[in-house]
Structure 1
């Protein structure tokens, strides 16, 4: 893939006009209040994953509407029972994937963190090693995939459920034994990055956010400049439902990482790939340049991978995160995090 989007200097200045719904904050406040009527921890069971230096828990927590959502929790062996409370990384998964096996993602546990990997409701059968969380909600007519499930009503849309799950995953992480509730970070790649942006805007008092090549940002721009899926699901749907454009984009505005990320308070490390046709660079820079714009922009960094497509930085980006996050946590006084949580 050749370079196809704006030149990098223009991307660095790209601040598109916003199309936020007037009731965006009320919509999410009501949604999360309803979800939080349920006790967050449903079950935490220690499992033998064959790992001797890492403890593994199979977590079930109450997500959207109290529905059970699965997650893996890995952490340094013995750290739940003794030692200083540990910081937490809550990770969300890319489009079509599920939580798979606990041994697939061990970097954060071996770096001294509690690592929560949230399963993705109704996904987990496109790549990877499977998921374990159903999505019990129905849908009207939709194109294949999840982008257009409930597309005519934000109350019914799939991403209302998934993004609520993400916020509740943070709540569940904070309820685990011997964790530092003030040092919780959200992270993810692609869909996981878009969900991390949503969580960053919807959760109070996060210590950091690390969205890699994030999906779910600046939908109108995305469908105008790429034919790639999953954004292509919106095009596919509108090619059949020819009069639905205004309603479709109004619904998606409630789940746009540009809008939700503006409400974040935590430092962030983004990544972007300039040849990425799946999540075009201008959609990522729209989210990056608007990030925390309503809250007094904290430290916000971005890694640019000029010659990569949607794979982005891969191990290079994880190496960057493993160095960036401890630095940010060390520079974030407890009082500052507590103040952010009280906003």
Structure 2
């Protein structure tokens, strides 16, 4: 009997195209399987929390205590993925989508990913949320496309416009770069669910990896108190996932130092994003006796300013008088980046020569 689970593809006669079809189909199948299990898991956890809340007359404060206790225990046993925020999202997911599973296998072929549902939970208007859910599924929107459309009030703009097709085409143009068919592979939520260390190599080009790796070594060898904390550190906000290129702790200054690399001209938005990182670090990581977190935004285009130092308002004097004593100068950073770009270019040329021999 024919196995209905076999990967299907349309034979074209071109072995490369056919092989690409097989690989893409297998990846889609893997995505669907992981996605269904992840959505089911989160919905069931949310359902169980809601049931526990009901045992105490539905008191919301008791539900929050359950979430707090579960977060501590689950994180200790399973690691990342079970923060209080995540557990509250699971609880909200069950509350807002109580009929999504008529059985554990029900509607599994019609599910969006968990990160899609996490975005949908931002939409409080039930009619708008149902519309976004339908459009995201039918049109194959990526998570970033859905987030942009929710944030830009796409549903309400479509209701008001007399030219819906023009609005739709504009949306497709503005989100075309977000429609990555392998988005799920890069999703940190998937890595957490599978119990794997997140592979962040996809976040950097070869040149960026080389520069960041070299800067990490450069700062550690400066002898000015730098201790390495993390590379490509994942920061999740309600609407986006961010990655800080390098994080250090300077034990002389007693502060965290965050470094972000940009491959284009530095913008005000880049500095604003760094300020957000600083606020998050000061709220979540900084201890009472630590000094304010410092952020550095670097640019690889050396026709532009090489660095922008970012520190929260009210700390400028401290930064000017003390911090710069232990930070690399613009000239030092420029020299290191230029040196690494030259090494990378030379290695690339040698590699091409070896392939041509």
TM-score bracket for this pair, using the shorter chain length: under 0.3
Larger Rg: 2
| Greater helix share, structure number | 2
TM-score, normalised to structure 1's length? 0.24
Q: Which has the higher contact order (CA 8 A, sep 6+)?
A: 1
